[in-house]
Amino acid sequence: MANEQKAVFMAKSRVKAADLDHRRKINFNIGRYNAVVPKGKAQFQDLQLARERAKNIKWRAIETLDQMLESFEAAFTARGGRVIWAENAEEANAAILKICQDKNCRTIVKSKSMVTEEIKLNEFLESNHIESVETDLGEYIQQLDNEPPYHIVTPAMHKSKEDVAKLFAEKLGTSPKLTPTELTLEARARLRDKYIEAEVGITGANFIISDIGGIAITENEGNGRLSCAWPKTHIVVTGIEKVIPSITDLGLFWPLLATYGTGQQMTVYNSIVSGPRLSHEKDGPEEMIVILLDNGRTNILQHPASRESLYCIRCGACLNACPVYKNIGGHAYGTTYSGPIGSVITPHLRNLDKWKHLSHASSLCGNCTEVCAVRINLHELLLENRHDAVKEGYVNWSEKMAWKGWKIGVMKRKWMNKGKAGLKNWVVNQLLTGWKEQRGPIHFPEKSFNQIWREQNNMS
């Protein structure tokens, strides 16, 4: 099974890397992102200090995660909300289904949420004859095309406006010549009716606010507000790592997320929701439930080095910076979370043996670490995953022997100098099949640098 996952990944990567049209679209969209991010960064007097402070806040939250979540639950339930603890996707989906059945729910409106993608909520609800409608424009486009999100922040990044117009024409019967504005208005008109029909609204949470017992949602379209305020029941599905200690921390995290996510100083809509509608309030849901999902996160929590990856605020900056992601695209990874952060956390969330290959889908250039909003050492964590895979014995015999031979060679210079260029060429280009499949042939010089140096300096 582990080899199957790797084979699928390699096959998809090979196809996408050779797709010049795909590369053109991605370079165009990431180019627009790169053009505006410096403007967002300009709002910080000391950007590096802001990032370091954010990292320290998340460190505190994760190191005291049990206390933070209990504090959140106490404050949230005091205001009439309900908390459900879900150990895995099955428990989370079962809890959501029971709520929907109790409400005789036939239609759900859903704002953008990577956690619900992680538990495959849409497919689960559809199998139980409940319509789940994505209300984020990018997610709506992907749902129409029966595709998962391509990117953590920009779900349909790989599609051009012509692609979207063609898709709407095929699925919705609109003109294939609609402009982006017209396409947006078409989606808006169709989705507005769904808010009225839906008995339940589902959102994720960008942050869980421990001290006030609330959740924070940041967005640019207003669909998140409609999803949580219009239906009578609001369900929040969120990973347990999203917690921050205090509402005052949002003054730092909201601008950081906006800048590194989309290049804005602040996103258009920023909401704090701390419970169902109270008796003196005129709007809001009658019932609000927060589902706190583990689903492998405690596996990361118990790992001293990889625990740092739980600081992630899902800004997607590491994806935009990664040369591998920009060449193979989000879908090649075969996971909910792609790019560098996905390669770090997926082996722990799922199965190290089956997904260890993702930690090798990196040039280790360190650009992901350089752009991370909360300064996670992503490239080092990729190496940590590789180390864990070896330590756990998830390597085959030929790989072990190859590295053993390499170690013997590099530990002594005379062994490195022994082989002639022809022999070295044959070993790398013919014997090491795993190397030659993905790379062009290597031609070693007749003399190594060490040998030339000794000759020129009359060293024996």
Residue pLDDT, tens place only, 332-360: 999 999 999 999 999 999 999 999 999 99
> Does residue 390 lie within any of the structural domains?
no
How far is residue 233's CA from residue 289's CA, in Å, rounded to a whole number? 8
> Does residue 356 lie within any of the structural domains?
no
Task: Provide the domain limits for residue 207.
Answer: 65-257+267-295
Give 32: exposed, middle or buried? Use CB within 10 Å, 0-12, 13-18, 19+: exposed
pLDDT score recorded for residue 452: 86
DSSP code, position 199: S
What CATH number corresponds to the domain at position 172?
3.40.50.10420
What is the value of pTM for the model shown? Answer: 0.91
Least confident of 10-14, 260-264, 399-403: 399-403
H/E run at residue 208: strand 207-209
pLDDT score recorded for residue 82: 97
- Indicate if 289 and 414 belong to the same structural domain: no
Alpha helices in 177-303 (DSSP H): 180-197, 223-229, 250-262, 297-301
pLDDT score recorded for residue 271: 96
**90-132: per-residue pLDDT in tens?**
999 999 999 999 999 999 999 999 999 999 999 999 999 999 9
Domain count for the chain: 2
pLDDT score recorded for residue 115: 97
pLDDT score recorded for residue 434: 66
Per this entry, what is the length of the chain? 460
- Indicate if 128 and 275 belong to the same structural domain: yes
pLDDT band at 1 (very low <50, low <70, confident <90, very high): low
Residue 178 near residue 186, CB atoms below 8 Å: yes
Q: Which of 327, 361, 328, 323 is nearest to 342 (CA)?
A: 361
Q: What angle do CA 268, 273, 277 make, to 5 degrees?
A: 125
pLDDT band at 307 (very low <50, low <70, confident <90, very high): very high
> Does residue 238 lie within any of the structural domains?
yes
- Indicate if 275 and 126 belong to the same structural domain: yes
How far is residue 390's CA from residue 385's CA, in Å, rounded to a whole number? 9
> Does residue 111 lie within any of the structural domains?
yes
Give 419: exposed, middle or buried? Use CB within 10 Å, 0-12, 13-18, 19+: middle
How far is residue 319's CA from residue 337's CA, in Å, rounded to a whole number? 10
pLDDT score recorded for residue 414: 74
